[in-house]
Every structure is written in structure tokens, then in C-alpha cells.
A and B are shown apart, each in its own frame.
Chain A
Amino acid sequence: MQVFLQTIVGGLNLGAVYALVALGFALVYRTMGLVNFAHADVLMIGAYIAATFTVSQHLPFAVAVLASIVITGVIGLFIERFLRPLEGRDFDLMLIGTIGFGIVLESVATLIWGATGEAVPSPVQTRPLVVFGASVPTYDLVVMGVAVVAMLALSLFLERTRRGVAMQAVAMDYDAAKAVGINVGRSNAIAFAIGAGLAALAGALVGPELYVSPTMGGSIGIDGFAAAILGGFGSIPGAVVGALAVGLLNSFSADYFQGYADLATFVLFAVIVMIKPTGLFGEKTVLRA
């Protein structure tokens, strides 16, 4: 039972991080029609910036994270400029163009910070909590808490504010949005910046848990992407549900299948996607060939 709870806690923790990544993916895809494979590398940049502020500049962790979000968001505005020609295009090209861009980000990170990476000390030094016999590292709770707050903030933004609702409208009907006066280009850029900010938040939070290196985006990105797809690509609530599912799946696989965790996870994932190609909440139709 204890082990079971432990696994769940681990899964939720992973799920929280994946949720932030998946939300960024989903937001960008919904509003811009861009499948951004460089998203995970944006996460990596966010992690590095936060790490630099924490380790080198000795800023408090929270401040470092905020700074990272803001800076990465601004970088996101520039990235969107570069990737704009790929929006709504042939998927192969989007795939390759954004992957290429990801490689550029990795190289830049390597040039600035070196290839060896760094360890970030956990900002929370208290003893782990014990819940029903399961040991819950306090930092895990911090991560989950922040993720929940971020999700709520994003929801509020999208549902209650003028720009947020406009962003949703652009995703639903491009021309009608223009007709009511929404500057769709600017809306998309802001959406991308928010997506980048979310990735940076995920990266900054996960820094103390993992090793910050230029290639850290790799597996988190794939899992985050899988989470967004599982939830139904483009669906915001779906991204969260999918992320929790992938997080739990990973956690249980690691426990039961140990070395074969990835294998189990992805075979299961492949089967689920094939049974319900539109994902849990998605609307995309399957062509009747």
C-alpha cells in the first residue's frame, strides 16, 4: 500500500510537470496550428536561466523562476517570428523546421553554459512529509502546488479576460475574429509567449529534481507531447488529464517494469491512441480511406 501511494505521489509529481509542458503545446497548437517540437528545448532554456539566477546570482528561487518565465516569454516572441512561416503548413515541414530550431537552441545553450550541465540544489530543505506511510518530498508538493496555480491562472486568463477570450476566438474562427477587430497576428505571438513561459516554468521547477543539461528537454518533451495528444491535441483540460495519465503511467511502469518502463509506457500509449485517435477530449476526425 505504501509503495502504491508512493508511486501515485511520484506519478502526480511527474504529471504536474508534464501538465505545464502539455498546456504550452496545446495552447500554441490551438491558436496557431503549429506543432512545436522545439517546445521542450524552450523548457531547457527556462531551466538554465532559473538555474543561473539561483546558483550564480544567488537570487531566491521564486524570484529566479519568475525572471526565467519573463525572459523566456520575451524570447518566445522572437521565436514566434522565426517560426511564423511554418504555421498551418505541411506537417512534415513543421516537424522538421521546429526540430531544427530545437537543435539551434540546444547548441546555443551548449555554447553559453557548456555541455556538462549543472545540478541545482533543492530550494526546500525541510524533511519530507509522511502521508499514510508514503514519504512525500516537500519539494514535490511545491511543484504540484505551483502547477495547479499556473493552470488556474491560465484558465482564468482564457475564460475571463478580454485577450484570453479573444485568443480562444482566434482558434475557433480566424476570419470572424478579424472581423470583430482582433489582431490575430499579435494574439498568436502572445499565445506563443505564454506557451514559452509555461515551458520555462516547468523547466525551472524541474531543475532541482533533474540534472539541468542541454539535452534535458528530450524525454520530458516527448512525455509532455504524448500527454497533450492523449488528452486530445488542442484541448486545454485534455492536456491536464493526459498529463496526469502519462505521469501515473510512467510512475507505475518504472515500478513494475523497471528497466522496461519506457517500452511499457509507449506500447500502451500507442494502443490507446489507436483505439481512440482523437484522444480523450479531442475533435480531430480520422479519415475514412
Chain B
Amino acid sequence: MNPTLNPLLRRYRAPAGYLLLAVLAYLLPYQLGSYDMHVLDTAFVFGILAIGLGIVMGIAGQINLAQITLMGVGAYTTAVLTTQENYGFWVAAILAVLASGLVGLIIGVPALRVQSHYLGIVTLGLSLAFTDWVTTSTLAGSGSGISGIPVPPLGGIDLSDDYLYYYLELVVFVLSLAFGLFVVRTRLGRRMRAMRDDPLAAGSGGARIPVLRMTAFLLAGLYGGVAGVLYAGLIRFVAPETFSTADMFLLLAMVVIGGRQSLWGCVIGALALSVVQDELTDLSTYAQLGYGIVVVITAVVAPTGLAGLPGRIRPLIRRQREQPALAPFQPYPATAAARETATGRELLRLDAVTMRFKGLTALREVSLSVGAGEIRGIVGPNGSGKTTLFNVISGLYQASQGTVSFADRHVHNLRPYRLSDLGLSRTFQNLRLFRELTVREHVMVGLDRTRPGWAWRYAIWPVGVWRAERRLGAQADELLDRYGLAGFAKATPYALPYGIQRRVELARAMAGEPRLLLLDEPAAGLNATEKAQLVEIVRSIRDHGTTVIIIEHDMGLVMSLCGKVTVLAAGQVIAEGAPADVAANPSVIEAYLGRAAAPRQTDAAEPAPSKTKEPTV
């Protein structure tokens, strides 16, 4: 194949594809009979609803078994306002979407306190409560539903015609999908996905988990409302049966089979299943059996659904190109900030911090002072409280007693995201990466320092979001180059070798240019070369202006890297000082080996080492 043709094809592949789809979509009604048209119209409604479920469940990871209820709220509100309050259709529609959004927020409130099966049962319960209400309340037609919803007026176009309604739906659908994809592929979606994959790491990186959850449910509500409005305009009759739990499970099946983490997958799943379900109404029980089996198989074998299949098949059929390699680290340029930190002002201070859990005192009156520009080592035997110390500093635990000050501010009861705002960053002992995010996205999450109020721009000024996205991408690329990760930009972390995963976590932690970086056993599992690289990187990080505290077991590493070392044993500080001094300290030796220093082999001529010296602490 002509090599110069390839890049051209690649560049126009996506727009050409969209154009083709657009043409097909325009021509489709001409091919279909009126019954099929109606089926397709209904399918599109579910497609929009599925996008909402995809966002809240697939992207943000929140179980929402009340998604169909949100459609019900939209449809019923439209119905009630048009038939009983005589509002115009479109006015009612806007109010209905707002109402659904509000109900979405209400349903989301439990998500602030509980997750997984608790959230599942609560949302399911609320969904039943809604069904209950519409079946009983006279306002909602007491179980027989509301009929006589007016045809939506649109200039001279008769929207009672399914063919013409299709075009209305198509426009709404395309806008909904486009907005959904826009959210998913920019910072809001990325933060939600980070929250889904590891809420702890996301929170420690600055994400406001509660706000993100509520935003997800709000979006679910809005999409549900739009779907409900379209449904009301299409069928012009609403009844409780359409919003039953059986339909909720059908929607769930659509989203899972299609691939819940991909909006395209949700949409394809919804369209496909609606059509299939209709085709098989005569064989409905066998159809039901069939898709029950498909759902089980999908959950067990292909959790990423249809949309995830290409990603899983591709590595199997395509020959491995040469493996990308880790490029060398490019040291940070020396900056003015580095000069500032060289003053050695106190940056972090712990005063008599005690941490008690049920029956266990993990930290006992620990006092610590770290100056700006230091690389401080925290060492100690297994179970001495080192990671607990980090968890207290980074806000994951609240100290039972004592205070923590960061940059002259009392911070000991602040949440992790607040500490992140103040310039604290950390890595984790057991490596917390975002399973489904690419390496580039990891770094973008780290770079993203915007506050939650920013999310309003999605509604008001999307162009700003787009421009910021491009800037963020450019910064990410720079950072990837610096850390030698450019070759891995598009890879997901858990497929990568361990040493590279560690590098990714480090790059993510440094992306926000923190003032203080906590590294929890960064060398665990690394080989000698990788450890040497780590030393180089940490030194450059310090020279760039970030103070580093590092927990490590590899004493050789600690020796070469740290200016000062604090030794913890059984939750207390037993020694502090230069590494060589600390290593010779008898209390330290005893804490590690369980005994005093080994008596040295001496010649007769050498004087015996004095044992009368007091141990230095």
C-alpha cells in the first residue's frame, strides 16, 4: 500500500465515518415500514436513557437501579403538566427535565454515604417507591396512567408521524451522545473514571468525591428526563408498567452487554436489544432465557461488553510491534523555587501525634519536623507504624491526639483533597493506579488542579473546557517525556511491567508540582538499575523544589538518598539523625535485629570497642 496514502486515510477516517453514519441515518426511514419505525423510535429513547446510565454507572461507578425511574419522572411530569395544568409541550418538557435532574440529585444523596450493594438496594427501593406512587396517586392517574398527551408542536411539522418524530429524536440523540462523549473525554469524565477505579487515590489527588458523585447522578437525571420527554411525545401515554423493575433490568442488560464503560457501547446495546426484543415478542420466553444467558456470559467472560471486544481481540491478532521502552528520565531544570526551599524553613510538623484504633495504638506521641528542601527517610521494622504515619499526614486518618501542621497551617482534621490543594502529594505502598485509565490520563488527572465550581463551564462555556483540555494534554505530554513514559502514553497501567507502573505513580504524584511528596516504599520490587534511577529522580525532584519524605526498607537506598533519617519502632520515634549515625545506634540495631550490635572481629593489637558510651537517640 502506498505509504503516503495511509496517514491521509487515518486523518479523515473518523469524519468520513461520521458522515457515512449521518447519511445512513437520514435515509433510514425510507427503508422501514411504519411498525419498524415505531420500534426504532422507542429504541432511540432507550438509547438516550442508556447514555445516562452509562455515565453514572459505567463512568462514575455508582450503582443506580433507579435509572428507569428518572425516565418515569420525566415522562410523568410532562404528562401531568400538559394534560392537567395545560402547559405547552415544550415548556412542560423543560420543567420535566429539570424535575428529573432534581430527582437524580435526591437519589444520589445516599451515594454520599454508601456504595455497592447498599446503594443498589437503596436506589432499587426508591425506584419501587416511585412505582408505588404513580400507581396510587390520583394525580398520576392511579395506575391506569395518563393519556392524551398533546403532540409536540414544531412549526408546521406533524410530529404525530413516527417518521418525522424520528428526525426530532435523531437530533436530540446526536446532541445527547455528543455531550456525553464530551463529558467523558474531558476532565470531568476523567475525574469520574479515576474515582470509579480508585476513590482513595483519586481523593488523595484532589478529587472531591461527593461532588463528583452528585454530578454523575445529576447527569443521569437529566438524561432520564430527556428520554422521558421524548417518550411522552412519542407514545403520548404514560403508565406504570413502562417503568417497572423488569425494564430496569433490561436497561441494565443493554448497558452491560454493550459495554458500560463506553457510551457508544451503551447506545449500541440499547438499540440492539430494543430491536431484538421486539423481533422476538412471539418467542418471548425463549428470548428472555437467551438474553439472561448472554448477560451471565458477558459478566463472567467479557466484562467490558461488546465495546470492549476490539480492545481484547486486537492484541491477539496483531503481532507485537517492538515493545516501547522506558526512556531515560530528564532531570528538572533548576528553578527559583529550589532556591527558596534551600532556606530550610520548617514545612511539616507533627506534635505528639497518637493514633489509636480499636485496641491498638499504632502511633505513640510521635513528633517530627521536616524542613523544606530535605529528603527525609522514615525507617523501622515491620509493623512500626510508618504507613500509618503517612496516612495521618495525608489526611486519610485523623489523629487521636496531637497536631499536624503543614506550611504553618494546622491541618490535622482536613480531608485528603484539601491537603492536595495545599500542595501535598503521595504514592502508596501497594501501588494505587487507575485500572482503566491510560498512562497519559493518569498524568492529566494529576495535572488537573481545578476546583469543582469549574464544572459549570460544561453547560455555559464548553469551548473553554475544550481549550483547557488541549493545554492539559500538552502539559501531560511534556511530563511524560520528562519521566521517559512517552512510549507508554496510551497503555493502561496494569498491563505494564512493575517498574514502569511505579514510574507512572510517581509521575502522577509529581504532576501537580507539590510542595511535599510522600513516597511509601517506592523501591519495593525494583531491581538494582531501577533503584539507581529512582535515586536520580528523587534527587532531581528535590532540586526542583519539592520536599520529599520517603518510607523505605532498603537501607542502602536510604543511606545514599536521605540527608536525615527518622526511625520508628512500635509506633514511637527511637532515633533521628544522619543515616550512618542512626545505623550505628544500638537501639536501632536492637529494634531491627532483636539484639545489640554484633561484636566485631578484632586483632589483639586493636583496642576493644568501648561499651560504656551512652546510646545516642
Show the binding face of A for B, using Cβ within 8 Å.
35, 82, 85-86, 90-97, 99-104, 106-108, 110-111, 115, 215, 218-219, 222, 225-226, 229, 233, 258-263, 265-267, 269-270, 273-274, 277, 286-289
Contacts and interface: CB of A to CB of B under 8 A. Distances in A.
Contacts of A218: 245
A100 B133 contact: no
B454 to A, nearest CB: 19
Interface stretch (B73-81, B85-93, B119-127, B596-604): B119-127
A86 B298 CA distance: 11
Contacts of B209: 289
B288 A106 contact: yes
B122 A260 contact: no
B118 to A, nearest CB: 6
Nearest 9 pairs between A and B by C-beta? A100-B295, A259-B136, A103-B292, A97-B299, A266-B125, A289-B209, A107-B289, A262-B132, A104-B292
B128 A274 contact: no
Interface string B250-282: 001100100010000000000000000000000
Contact of A107 (B110, B131, B285): B285
B396 interface: yes
Nearest to B109: A274
A90 B303 contact: yes
Contacts of B200: 287
A40 B178 CA distance: 40
Interface string B338-357: 00000000000000000000
B132 A261 contact: yes
B110 A273 contact: yes
Contacts of B494: none
B291 interface: yes
**B contact residues, range:** 35 or more
Given A100-B295, A103-B295, A233 B289 contact: no
B186 to A, nearest CB: 22
Contacts of A260: 132-133, 136
A97 B199 contact: no
Given A85-B300, A95-B63, A100 B292 contact: yes
30 contacts: A82-B296, A91-B116, A91-B117, A96-B299, A100-B299, A107-B286, A107-B288, A108-B289, A222-B121, A229-B117, A229-B118, A233-B117, A259-B132, A260-B133, A262-B128, A263-B129, A263-B130, A263-B136, A266-B126, A266-B129, A267-B126, A270-B125, A273-B110, A273-B121, A273-B122, A274-B122, A277-B113, A287-B200, A288-B396, A289-B210
B47 interface: no
Contacts of B136: 258-260, 263
Interface string B166-191: 00000000000000000000000000
Interface in B215-248: 245-246
Q: Taking each of A93, A99, A218, A222, which has the highest tally of chain B beta carbons within 10 Å of its own beta carbon?
A: A99
A263 B249 contact: no
B299 A86 contact: yes
B493 interface: no
Contacts of B137: 259
B203 interface: yes
Given A103-B291, A288-B415, A266 B128 contact: yes
B84 interface: no
A74 to B, nearest CB: 20
Contacts of B298: 96, 100
Contacts of B199: 287, 289
B125 A96 contact: no
A260 to B, nearest CB: 6
